Amino acid sequence: MSALVSDELLARSSQRSERLRLLSHSTEPALKAVVLTCADHRVDPAHVLGLEPNDAVVLRNPGGRVTGDVLRSLVVLSAVAAVEQLSGGVEIVVMHHTDCGMSRLGGPGHLGLVADYLGTTVEAGADVPVIDPRMSLRHDVAALRALVGATPVTGLLFDVESGRVHRLE
């Protein structure tokens, strides 16, 4: 039987445990940010945005999309912050990226799948962009801003080829 990837991951983690042990154990992230981004292996915000341990809460899913699951997660995170009596004032940062795998699902064959994922009807799903990350980002930032009141929402676009991140919203 070939070695499991988890064996490699455990070996790597053992090299980091001492550093992690010394970090703050507050439930409040140091940067007071929630980052929503794609699950893509090239888009880890620890690498792309330089997040260090304890810096930010990170939510990831295919495309970094504002789905019902993400909204439910934000509600739960808000409840945890209230229980912990955290100071609040977080900024939500949504980061989409070029060459996203979701862009491969823009054809009619995946319309139902994408609409179900994004929580829209099939007909409306045609209007929810997955091809262009600029359009998906503008769509999701607008949707989120309409729901979160005074919480600042920022939209970033990561270009996987240049390695650069730009503020789009």
Instruction: Give residue 33's identity as a one-letter amino acid code.
Output: A
CB distance 126 to 106 below 8 Å: no
CA distance 24 to 46: 17
Neighbours of 146 (CB within 10 A): 9
CA distance 144 to 2: 44
Cα dihedral sign, 124-128-131-135: positive
Nearer to Zn ion, 29 or 133 (CB): 133
- Kindly state whether residue 118 participates in binding Zn ion, applying the rule CB under 5 A: no
Nearer to Zn ion, 37 or 90 (CB): 37
What residues from 86 to 115 belong to the interface with Zn ion (CB under 5 A)? 100
- Kindly state whether residue 57 participates in binding Zn ion, applying the rule CB under 5 A: no
Binding mask 14-53 for Zn ion (x = CB under 5 A): ------------------------x-x-------------
Nearest distance, CB of residue 37 and Zn ion, angstroms:
8
- Kindly state whether residue 59 participates in binding Zn ion, applying the rule CB under 5 A: no
Contact positions toward Zn ion, by CB under 5 A? 38, 40, 100
